[in-house]
Structure 1
Amino acid sequence: LVLKKGKDMINEFLKKEKDHFKGNIAIISGITVNTPGIDHFILKEISYANN
């Protein structure tokens, strides 16, 4: 749900600012698992905004 909302917000931003914004936006999502020795990040998805 959070990732979908983030994508929607970025795509809305790009629609409004397409003439001014030059660059790429990527969204990385996953989960962090905390253990006593180290924190592990489990990658779920990498997606790129529609720009």
Structure 2
Amino acid sequence: MNEKTCAACDCPLDDTAIEVRVGGQTVEVCCEECAVKLRQAHASATASLHGGAAA
């Protein structure tokens, strides 16, 4: 059996999974909190790669 897990926290996914588009790909997360965390992490990583705000 191939169990799906949340892209943000690795919790098992059920029928309430949320699809999130990040970096041109669609991934599934378990809740809105994980969706927000994933979007923020991607935005931060993208800003770092493109010379975003200095620390």
**Same topology, TM > 0.5:** no
Please indicate the TM-score interval, normalised by the length of the shorter structure. Answer: 0.3 to 0.5
TM-score normalised over the length of structure 2: 0.35
Structure with more of its chain in strand, by fraction: 1
The structure whose RCO (Cα within 8 Å, separation 6+) is larger is 1
